[in-house]
Amino acid sequence: MTAVITGMGLFTPVGRGVSATFDALCAGRSGLARPPAGHPAADCLEVAGLLPPVDPRSVASGPETRVLDRIVVLALHAAADALADAGIEVGRDVDPGRVDVPA
């Protein structure tokens, strides 16, 4: 089996996407911050690399949006960004049955 990286997608504490993340890192911005009051990590961590909230309805529809794990939602966003970065449209450029987002 051969795998080829044709596009990248990132969802990081310093930005979403390759360009935003690269620019932030080159500018010396850190994604570390104190967790805000009320955050589950606020009482046990002084600093953390937190990601912004994401709405599961932006990557899925129907009743499954109530049970999608946040990690899966972030992975789907990154995968969609990677496909866009590669200029690939599922259904037009590639068979939907051959696309997978391993979690």
- Give residue-wise pLDDT tens across range 34-71: 999 998 889 999 999 999 888 898 888 888 888 889 89
> Where are the chain's structural domains?
11-91
Count Cα neighbours of 73 within 13 Å in the Cβ-side half-sphere.
Answer: 18
Tokens 């450029």 label which residue?
93
DSSP 36-91: PTTSTTTTT-S-EEPPPP--GGGT--SGGGGT--HHHHHHHHHHHHHHHHHT--BT
Q: Which percentage of the chain shows pLDDT scores above 90?
A: 39
Q: Which pTM does this prediction carry?
A: 0.76
Q: How many CB atoms lie within 10 A of CB 70?
A: 11
Backbone dihedral angles phi then psi of residue 12, each to the nearest 5 degrees: -125, 165
